[in-house]
Structure 1
Amino acid sequence: MNEVELSAGPIEYSDTGGAGPVVVFLHGLLMDSSLWDDTIADLATGHRCVAPTLPLGAHRRAMRADADLSMRALARLVPEFLARLDLRDVTLVGVDTGGALVQLVMTGAADRVRRVVLASCDAFDNFPPGLTGKTLFLAGRLSPGLFGAFMQQMRLKALRRLPIAFGWLTKRGDAAVVGWLRPILTRPDIRRDAVRVLRAAAADPGVLTEAADHLPEFDRPALVVWASEDRVMPPDHGRRLAQLLPKAQLSEVDDSYTLLPLDRPAELARLIGDFTRTT
């Protein structure tokens, strides 16, 4: 795992290297870059794949105590990350909260972004998304210590698989979830960061509705990939995003919940690879 120092603090990232088209992957809340491992394994032969672990609650390097961890500030970290690594003509991919960050980048500093992929993600007024997001936002009102006590319940698989937890996010990815939860269950500084993220997000509920007003101004290629069985991110939101974006194409994937990189990684890799080759 590599590391780069950004304005908010240290960010770990994986980088396959190589001379192919650059694809940068953004994960969701309470996840890390390992979300993309299987998709990257299928793409790495013809692409340079870079996956940062953002400070969204499963990171292992705590942020500075005074860092702004709002959604808008986290989105600003993305172009900062691209600039520090001097990545250009990037295909920026996001799922879940990562897709929300991609939308915010699209409406801001996107000069290093050549194309985007939005995969089953928060959009429009679905923020916080579904029962999972609403539960987390409510838990974020707790102190970091009490939030940690609340999250200890996630040690039990039966509770992780509930709709208010990860049950409607992935059909097959519980093993990955166990790894993502480890920092927040064991590290007070990571719990502090997670609570700050949740409180800042809850204080800005209209952030994606505002971003949607500017999405038609994004004139570069976009691929919208949505899980047809998604219970957290409404499939209609994928269709609406594809209609808003001037150069968008839409693909719907079956046999998957929100986290396509866990449930259908090979199909997602195929769609991304076709997209980078044909645009």
Structure 2
Amino acid sequence: MAISEVLGEEHVVELAAGPIAYRVCGQGLPVVLVHGGLANADLWREVVPALRDRGAYRLISPDWPMGSHRHPMRPGADVTPPGIVRIIVDFLDELGLDRVVIVANDAGGAISQMLAAAHPERIDRLVLTSCDQHLQFPPRYLKPVRWLAATGLGDAIARSFGRRVVHGPFFWSVARRPLPAGIRASYLSPMLEDRRIRDELVRFFRGTRPRHTLAAARALKDFDRPALVLWGGSDLWFSRRGGRRLARTMPNGRFAVIPGARTFVPEDAPVELAERVAAFLDETAPAASA
């Protein structure tokens, strides 16, 4: 269940909402990685060493409280999408990070859009890989599940979903490469084994609403930092059209496709993702320091 050692030394920081475990690797420009739901820092296990070899970066890989984290939050903690934005800001404050590069995936991309909209001063540059945006929060395939979760059946749905995922099509639909058994366990075991974490996953999921991403999109029209939107060329959950629209939302946004990757771009194309991110950071460095 431990996060991959390649992500660096593990630390736990105590925030008002609760403990956040994270790994740190390298020195230099701070890059904070934001995974989505039913994933954790292990999502970046192959991206981090590839990116570390391409520049001077301080790569920070937290376990955000979206269902695959190992440390439950404090009772009553806000783990809705706006609450997780607050947790990220508190995390940056606790680590003394005034402004960082954000690299995000899946629902973490929606959270990062909300972060950039509400706290643009905290973001140096922004990289969004296949993710929720505009009306897709959650993705259309998961909207019926969210409605059911809102009826009070959330815990039963989460347990059933988690057990079916092990043998079902979910991971195949989000990642073309087969996930190792240990990684599947890393993503699913926390919520299957701990009712508190399962409850936090349900509360996060219930809180996903298009109004959050639509409001972020309106605010991002004024977000003038360099932004790169990278879409999985074989994404089955989020349309390429939505990714292009997201990039156009930001004045300095650009769009590119990573062929063959599905929604979990860090799983399917970790080296190419690292190359694209490093090239983007190198190219935009003068503007970022202006």
Report how far residue 167 of structure 1 moved: 2.7
Alignment deviations for residues 229-258 of structure 1 (CA, whole Å, 9 cap, x no partner): 211011111111121211122211101101
Equivalent residues of 1:151, 1:185 under 8 A apart: no
Q: 2:194 aligns with which of 181, 187, 191?
A: 187
SS of the residue corresponding to residue 54 of structure 1 reads coil
Moved over 3 A (4+): 141-145
Q: 1:38 aligns with which of 35, 39, 46?
A: 46
What letter is aligned with 1:104? M
| Cα distance in 1, alignment partners of residues 25 and 15 from structure 2 | 21
Q: 1:118 aligns with which of 113, 122, 128?
A: 128
Match of 1:99 in 2: 109
Q: More deviation in 242-251 or 49-58?
A: 242-251
SS of the residue corresponding to residue 118 of structure 2 reads coil
Match of 1:24 in 2: 32
Alignment deviations for residues 163-191 of structure 1 (CA, whole Å, 9 cap, x no partner): xx333211114222332001111111111
Q: More deviation in 216-225 or 139-148?
A: 139-148
What letter is aligned with 2:270? P
SS of the residue corresponding to residue 46 of structure 2 reads helix
* Unmatched tracts of structure 1, length 5 or more: none
What letter is aligned with 2:131? C
Match of 1:80 in 2: 90
Q: 1:53 aligns with which of 48, 53, 63?
A: 63
Q: 2:254 aligns with which of 234, 241, 249?
A: 249
Equivalent residues of 1:22, 1:88 under 8 A apart: no
| Cα distance in 1, alignment partners of residues 158 and 225 from structure 2 | 42
SS of the residue corresponding to residue 140 of structure 1 reads helix
The alignment's TM-score, normalised by the length of structure 1, stands at 0.91
Report how far residue 220 of structure 1 moved: 0.6
* Unmatched tracts of structure 2, length 5 or more: 1-9, 285-290
Q: Does 1:208 align with 2:213?
A: yes
Q: 1:261 aligns with which of 266, 272, 284?
A: 266
Please report the RMSD computed on the Cα atoms of aligned residues, expressed in angstroms.
1.7
| Cα distance in 1, alignment partners of residues 256 and 211 from structure 2 | 27
Report how far residue 209 of structure 1 moved: 1.1
Alignment deviations for residues 193-235 of structure 1 (CA, whole Å, 9 cap, x no partner): 112212222xx44211111111110011001101122110111
For residues 233-244 of structure 1, what are the structure 2 equivalents within 5 Å?
A: 233-244=238-249
| Cα distance in 1, alignment partners of residues 177 and 259 from structure 2 | 14
| Cα distance in 2, alignment partners of residues 155 and 243 from structure 1 | 35
| Cα distance in 2, alignment partners of residues 6 and 29 from structure 1 | 20
Greater helix fraction, Structure 1 or Structure 2:
2
Equivalent residues of 1:147, 1:191 under 8 A apart: no
Q: How many percent of aligned residue pairs carry the same amino acid?
A: 33
SS of the residue corresponding to residue 200 of structure 2 reads helix
Match of 2:203 in 1: 196
* Alpha carbons of structure 1 residues 150 and 198: separation in structure 2 relative to 1, 3 Å: same
* Alpha carbons of structure 1 residues 199 and 276: separation in structure 2 relative to 1, 3 Å: same
Equivalent residues of 2:120, 2:223 under 8 A apart: no
SS of the residue corresponding to residue 212 of structure 1 reads helix
Aligned length: 270
For residues 87-166 of structure 1, what are the structure 2 equivalents within 5 Å?
A: 87-131=97-141, 133-134=142-143, 136-138=145-147, 140-141=149-150, 142-143=152-153, 145-154=155-164, 156-157=166-167, 159=168, 161=169, 165-166=170-171
| Cα distance in 1, alignment partners of residues 46 and 83 from structure 2 | 29
Match of 1:13 in 2: 22
Alignment deviations for residues 116-170 of structure 1 (CA, whole Å, 9 cap, x no partner): 0011100000111142x3354245334454235413533642x1x2xxx333211
| Cα distance in 1, alignment partners of residues 158 and 72 from structure 2 | 15
SS of the residue corresponding to residue 224 of structure 1 reads strand
| Cα distance in 1, alignment partners of residues 93 and 178 from structure 2 | 32
